[in-house]
């Protein structure tokens, strides 16, 4: 299941709490105001009935009712009954067809069909033996109407408020978490192209307001700390590169002297067979060291951006064919019966550095020969594929275990050091990768252990150098 982003989680949280809060606030408001509205309608009714008694007069055995009694004041209808519940005077609201029992001094709710009414009765003693009853009726619906309006308003307002919280919350969270996205993308870029000179650069780059924010905001502080750490790392890596370069330079001269001295000694006819064998061993080891130093110098120049690339339009088909022939000579000298075949399309050209291209191909071919079984075949191919030149070096040798495949391009990595022999440092493929990429191309590998490997490089075909 896809994980919900932090942005969405926070927004949902805000929205949920906002919805709860709004619901609670409105519920309290409704219950208070409905009670208030209804009780004020009741007290209005009671008050009106009590007042109306002033409009009644009994004179000479005759009951006189003031004109105010008939007017519907404050939504209250008044009617007058005798003790037998016989209607004497007054007004009954339309729709109120019931004749509820008299109930002195209490406000009751009477339902009549779909409507509800408040009814309040009050007795009034006109003489010692003549009592009349005033009945006040008011509609509950009228009282509730204003309350219903409030309710409708709230029902519309509630979702709107929740929606507004969701939108504002989302935008706010997005803005707050923007630096996290920048941190992630910078780290990804650093991982992709191993460029430690990149910085997140949040603090202070977006103007004064952000500078201020940078001093308070935890995420900005995190980004600044990250940048500091990257700065430190870059320094360490630079020192390491410089160290490798210095050491390689320092070693080059003594190794050169050892090789020259070995050559000198081997030319001495008085040297015994036994001593000659010892000197040859020293020479072989020193040769291996000289190769490693030259590879290290190449890579440290590449790291420091000092490895020159002199590209010119070269005939890749011819150059590849020639390198294959030289590879065959080298393979023959090993006497393991390994054949190198070529499947090269003629006339392929590319803007490339001739020396580096040969270096790349020699590395791939010598690896293929080294890891081939005796009497195996290595096939070198070259063809055009759209705007690219695609080269392959295929062997039927030991292959590379799947878990080693991603690492073979790393410096000093050897998948099976027991097979690679003494003079192999694990630097060759790092160089191959650098050369392919420096030409704007790439290199990849497929391999099956026990069956063989195929290295494929792609370079832009016949393109002019861009500078
Ligand atoms: P090395 O000098 O050890 O050959 P490389 O950088 O050229 O260093 O290769 C790194 C590792 O990749 C080798 O040690 C080997 O294990 C593996 N490898 C390279 N090419 C092949 C191949 N054609 N077949 C099998 N394994 C290979």
- Residue ranges of domains in the chain, CATH in brackets: 7-169 (3.30.450), 186-307 (1.10.287.130), 311-460 (3.30.565.10)
How much distance in Å is there from the Cα of 439 to the middle of ligand 1? 22
CA-nearest of 401, 381, 387 to 457 is 381
Q: Rounded distance, CA 65 to CA 53, Å? A: 9
Return the pLDDT at 465: 44
How much distance in Å is there from the Cα of 420 to the middle of ligand 1? 7
How much distance in Å is there from the Cα of 155 to the middle of ligand 1? 73
Return the pLDDT at 378: 97
Are the beta carbons of 444 and 454 closer than 8 angstroms? Answer: no
Ramachandran area for residue 215 (φ above 0: left; ψ -120 to 50: alpha; else beta): alpha
Return the pLDDT at 216: 63
Return the pLDDT at 464: 47
448 token code pair = 């099956």
Averaged over successive runs of 10 residues, the pLDDT of the chain (467 residues) comes to 77 87 81 75 88 83 82 85 86 84 85 84 85 88 70 81 88 84 88 82 58 65 88 90 87 93 93 93 92 90 84 94 95 93 94 94 95 95 94 95 91 70 78 94 94 95 56
The residue contributing the CA closest to ligand 1 atom 21 is 367
Ramachandran area for residue 212 (φ above 0: left; ψ -120 to 50: alpha; else beta): alpha
Are the beta carbons of 321 and 344 closer than 8 angstroms? Answer: yes
Q: Rounded distance, CA 370 to CA 374, Å? A: 10
Atom of ligand 1 nearest to the CA of 395: 23
How much distance in Å is there from the Cα of 338 to the middle of ligand 1? 17
- Long-range Cβ pairs for the range 302-311 (8 Å, 24+): 302/434, 302/438, 303/241, 304/241, 304/245, 307/434, 307/438, 309/353, 309/356, 309/438, 309/439, 310/353, 311/351, 311/352, 311/353, 311/439, 311/465
Ligand 1 site residues (CB inside 6 A) read 363, 367-368, 371, 395, 397-400, 408, 413-416, 420, 424-429, 453
Return the pLDDT at 194: 76
Q: How far is CA 433 from the centre of its chain?
A: 30
Handedness of CA 436, 437, 440, 444 (dihedral sign): positive
Return the pLDDT at 412: 84
51 token code pair = 């007042």
How much distance in Å is there from the Cα of 426 to the middle of ligand 1? 7
Residues 6+ apart with CB under 8 A from 85: 99, 101, 102, 133
Return the pLDDT at 457: 97
């Amino acid at each position: 299941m896809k994980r919900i982003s932090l942005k969405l989680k926070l927004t949902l949280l805000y929205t949920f709490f906002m919805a709860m809060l709004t619901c609670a606030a409105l519920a309290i408001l409704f219950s208070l105001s409905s009670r208030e509205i209804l009780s004020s309608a009741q007290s209005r009714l009671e008050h009106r009935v009590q007042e109306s008694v002033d409009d009644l007069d009994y004179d000479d055995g005759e009951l006189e009712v003031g004109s105010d009694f008939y007017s519907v004041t404050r939504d209250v209808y008044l009617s007058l009954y005798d003790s037998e519940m016989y209607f004497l005077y007054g007004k009954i609201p339309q729709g109120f067809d019931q004749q509820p029992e008299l109930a002195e001094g209490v406000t009751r709710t009477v339902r009549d069909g779909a409507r509800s009414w408040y009814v309040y009765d009050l007795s009034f003693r006109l003489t010692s033996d003549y009592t009349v009853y005033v009945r006040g009726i008011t509609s509950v619906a009228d009282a509730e109407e204003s309350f219903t309006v409030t309710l409708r308003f709230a029902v519309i307002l509630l979702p709107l408020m929740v929606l507004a919280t969701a939108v504002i919350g989302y935008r706010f969270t997005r803005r707050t978490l923007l630096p996290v996205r920048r941190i992630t993308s910078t780290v990804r870029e650093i991982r992709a192209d191993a460029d430690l000179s990149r910085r997140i650069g949040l603090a202070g780059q977006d103007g004064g307001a952000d500078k201020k924010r940078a001093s308070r905001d935890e995420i900005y502080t995190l980004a600044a700390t990250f940048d500091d750490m990257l700065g430190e790392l870059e320094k360490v890596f630079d020192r390491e590169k410089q160290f490798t370069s210095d050491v390689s330079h320092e070693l080059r001269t003594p190794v050169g002297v050892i090789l020259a001295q070995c050559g000198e000694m081997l030319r001495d006819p008085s040297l015994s067979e036994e001593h000659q064998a010892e000197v040859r061993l020293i020479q072989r080891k020193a040769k291996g060291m000289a190769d490693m130093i030259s590879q290290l110098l190449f890579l440290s120049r590449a790291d420091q951006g000092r490895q020159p690339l002199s590209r010119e339009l070269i005939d890749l088909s011819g150059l590849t064919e020639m390198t294959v022939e030289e590879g065959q000579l080298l393979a023959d000298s090993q006497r393991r019966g390994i054949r190198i075949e070529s499947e090269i399309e003629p006339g392929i050209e590319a803007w490339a550095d001739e020396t580096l291209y040969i270096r790349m191909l020699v590395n791939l071919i010598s690896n293929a020969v080294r890891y081939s079984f005796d009497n195996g075949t290595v096939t070198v191919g070259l063809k055009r594929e759209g705007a690219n030149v695609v080269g392959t070096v295929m062997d039927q040798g030991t292959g590379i275990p799947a878990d080693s495949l991603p690492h073979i391009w790393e410096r000093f990595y050897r998948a099976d050091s027991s097979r690679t022999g003494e003079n192999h440092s694990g630097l060759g493929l790092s160089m191959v990768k650098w050369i392919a990429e420096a030409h704007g191309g790439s290199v990849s590998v497929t391999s099956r252990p026990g069956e063989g490997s195929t290295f494929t490089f792609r370079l832009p075909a016949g393109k002019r150098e861009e500078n």
